[in-house]
Amino acid sequence: MRRKSVDIKAMALFLTVAFLAAGVLGALQPATRIPGEVIQLTQFGPALGVGLAALLWPGRVREVLAGPEPDRSGRGCSCSSRRL
């Protein structure tokens, strides 16, 4: 099976946005007066990274969300049946 290459730009952008957004949201958490026991705003940092990547590379995101391509028998990857 041929593996697709990693898009370094997309990965770097996602990580940068996710870390920065989580930091900013963590700093804003006290100003919102929402208790940390209710929700941590930092958890939305990665979602913002995915959102930006989806806007910049919609085809790539669609490809990832579609899942594995079917094999010759017409079924998807049988990864769960493989022994490690």
| Tokens coding 46 | 């990665």
A 10 A CB-CB count for 4 gives: 8
Instruction: Say what the pTM is.
Output: 0.66
Residue 62's pLDDT is what?
A: 81
Output the pLDDT for position 18.
Answer: 96
pLDDT at 31: 94
| pLDDT tens, N- to C-terminus, the chain (84 residues) | 566 677 788 889 999 999 999 999 999 999 999 898 999 999 999 999 989 988 998 888 788 778 777 766 656 555 555 544
